[in-house]
Amino acid sequence: MTTTATETTWLRVTRREPCRICGRGDWCGVSEDRTVAICMRVKSDRPVRNGGWLHRTAAAVPPPRPPCRVYVPAHPEPERDWQALLERWARRTSPAQRGWLAHILGVSAPSLQRLGAVVSDRPGVWAFPMFDAARQVIGIRLRAEDGKKWAVAGSHNGLFWPGGLAGAAPLLVCEGPTDTAALLDLGYDAIGRPSCTGAVEMVIEVVRRLRRRDVVIVADADAPGIDGAGRLAEALTAANRRPKVIRPLKCKDARAWVRAGATRAVVDCAIANAQHWRG
């Protein structure tokens, strides 16, 4: 005898509330009070017209409560006094230590000093300040001597902006503090981005503040670096600047290029041969 099942309200099973008979989360049904199930897989002596079988469950069970979403108010990191932290670390940084880092990186100690490089409170870990467009420190990039990079907790990504820029054209924009140091060693005015895609608006604002029209983006010679340089060039063009994009010859980045023997004349030639960005 086939049983009808129209006298109650039926709900579809779900993965969260599977069938009480076969344990599957689809195709079967359950009554609203959870006392009766229609299973499409396990037979009983009470078939129903939809092709399944009626089963009595042990007792009425209230529907499951939705997962409790506990609101935890955000407690952002308190704003740190970045300048005070850097000054404390600077007092413990000797010229000999900075000279050792310069030796490891293949750049000059004076360029590292212009970038504010100091030894952090962790042995062998160096700190570089990151600035916003108003040249206020907004974070600190850390760099171990083995090349590993991260940031002090609470930092915001910003620019590696050396002191003592001469104001002479062009302004070179590269990626990271060590590439910036290498370009400073060649006598250029240079600033560094935190990544190949970061700080676009900051760069534009700095270029405006420094009243620079001629900007050269020195891209890392990989696909992300080239793509990021193109995006920055498009943004600078929209901001009524005249950017060029160059990339190191047979080297991965600006620092490797300088270490491989690139001179000011070599980089000047690359800049002269590059066209102003047109997209």
Nearest by Cα to 140 from 164, 165, 115: 115
Contact status, residue 152 vs residue 142, Cβ threshold 8 Å: yes
- pLDDT value at position 139? 97
Give the distance from CA 169 to its chain's centroid.
Answer: 30
Structure tokens at 167: 């104001």
Reported pTM? 0.72
Q: What is the mean pLDDT of each run of 10 residues along the chain (279 residues)?
A: 58 82 82 83 79 72 47 54 96 96 97 98 95 97 93 96 91 98 98 95 96 94 95 95 94 96 97 91
The reported pLDDT for the residue numbered 65 is: 47
C-alpha 216/C-alpha 279 separation (Å) is 15
Nearest to 171 by CA among 271, 275, 251, 279: 271
Architecture of domain 82-273: 3-Layer(aba) Sandwich (3.40)
User: Cα(251)–Cα(86) distance, rounded to whole angstroms?
Assistant: 32
Domain residue extents for the chain = 1-61, 82-273
